[in-house]
Amino acid sequence: MHELSICRAITKLVECHADGSTVRIVRLRVGELRQIVPDTLAYCWGLVTEGSDLESAALEIERVPAAIRCAGCRHVHTLTEPILVCPECQGRDVEIVSGEEFLITSLDLMEV
């Protein structure tokens, strides 16, 4: 359950950016190659923020599909399973072009 410590890290970043304002929504972008389970993350977010200034802040999670680009034939392929092989030429020299993201993208703050 690393989601718990991840939520603690998120609260720190959010508090720093919110700078005292009330936070309505925290938006995350999570690549599908990350072993982060959105439901678990949301559950842990509830635990970690309970009774704090962030209690009323909801998490919105945007998932990013995993994609690879083949160095041999330049083919770009969206993964449906974690097999890092080019489906066009069977090349194994592939570069991950998306799917490893794990970011806070934006916050909605109450206007004062």
Judged by the rule CB under 8 A, the positions of this chain that interact with another protein are: 1-2, 4-6, 9-10, 12-13, 17, 21, 24-25, 28-29, 33-36, 62-65, 81-85, 92-98, 100-111
Residue whose CB is less far from another protein, 88 or 95: 95
Determine contact, residues 55/22, Cβ cutoff 8 Å.
no
Backbone angles phi, psi at 19, to 5 degrees: 55, 45
Q: 72 touches which of Zn ion, another protein, none (CB within 5 to 8 A by kind)?
A: Zn ion
| Separation between Cα atoms, residue 109 and residue 86, nearest integer Å | 43
Q: Pick from another protein, Zn ion, none: which does 40 bind, CB < 5 to 8 A by kind?
A: none
Residues 50-109 contacting Zn ion, CB under 5 A: 70, 72-73, 75, 86, 88-89, 91
In 3D, which of 40, 41, 36 has the Cα closest to residue 26?
A: 41
- The secondary structure of residue 50, as a DSSP letter, is T
